[in-house]
Structure 1
């Protein structure tokens, strides 16, 4: 599992295992040795840091690459918050653009762009909050 994950991550970056090993200061065949033996924890951590994934992901303990990746529960929270925002904007006094137009006066395209922007903003905010406020003991 470990070797396959590292190989997949290298391929996603357009690199081969030999190149990645050299960049990390490992022997050229270091990753191939991982097929039969476990790496040292320092080596595993360097590899995880290089690919910006958790060591648990490399080891196959989770499919979540980073501790701050959004979960299904996070996605539900985002959709609920987005719905609350939509409901609020649909009230007569809930939304006014800089030019004074209301939600009803926006074109369908503008409404769609606004909602997409709000949804993306909520995702970014949730991810940043997880990075900032997740205690270290829960990060891997």
Structure 2
């Protein structure tokens, strides 16, 4: 996809007019139209940066330097899923806010969120596994009936759990 097509699709997905996007970048609507039509090939770096920021993508994405086929953030923006998220009745308002915030992050920040989420899931799994291990019977020694009775007495004694 050419840069002009990307600008057009992202602008439409965000519900911006030519004039609104131009105001965000600091140019006129005719300049935005020319970008979208591919009539201006040499954009200044500061304009590329402002344009990328306004469209919530990376400058590298706009320039075609990044492969983004698997980039969920740009796909979500391009497919107008913010509106779809709003229409999902099964999601709580806070969940909708989380999803919309995520898709509005720049790609590099979405990757940070993904990494942090994976770390938290790993920690959560380790905690879950530790609880399960604690609830199991010991296998390192032979457990006698007297030991089981003692353990059960402790588990059933409410004063032990205050």
Which residue does the alignment assign to 1:6?
7
The unaligned stretches of length 5 or more in structure 2 are 72-105, 136-162
Over 3 Å counting, the alpha-carbon distance change for 1:56 and 1:89 in structure 2 is farther
What is the CA distance between 1:77 and its match in structure 2?
5.3
Q: Please identify the structure whose Cα radius of gyration is greater.
A: 2
Over 3 Å counting, the alpha-carbon distance change for 1:9 and 1:2 in structure 2 is same
Which residue does the alignment assign to 2:52?
48
Runs of 4+, deviation exceeding 6 Å? none
> Which deviations, in whole Å up to 9, do the C-alpha atoms of 1:2-48 show, x marking residues without a partner?
22222222222211233211333202121232313131111101111
Which residue does the alignment assign to 1:66?
107
Q: Is the Cα–Cα contact under 8 Å of residues 5 and 58 in structure 1 kept in the other structure?
A: yes
What is the CA distance between 1:84 and its match in structure 2?
2.3
The unaligned stretches of length 5 or more in structure 1 are 94-140
TM-score by length of 1: 0.51
Which residue does the alignment assign to 1:38?
42
What is the CA distance between 1:56 and its match in structure 2?
0.7
Task: Tell me the distance in 2 between the aligned counterparts of 1:40 and 1:88.
Answer: 56
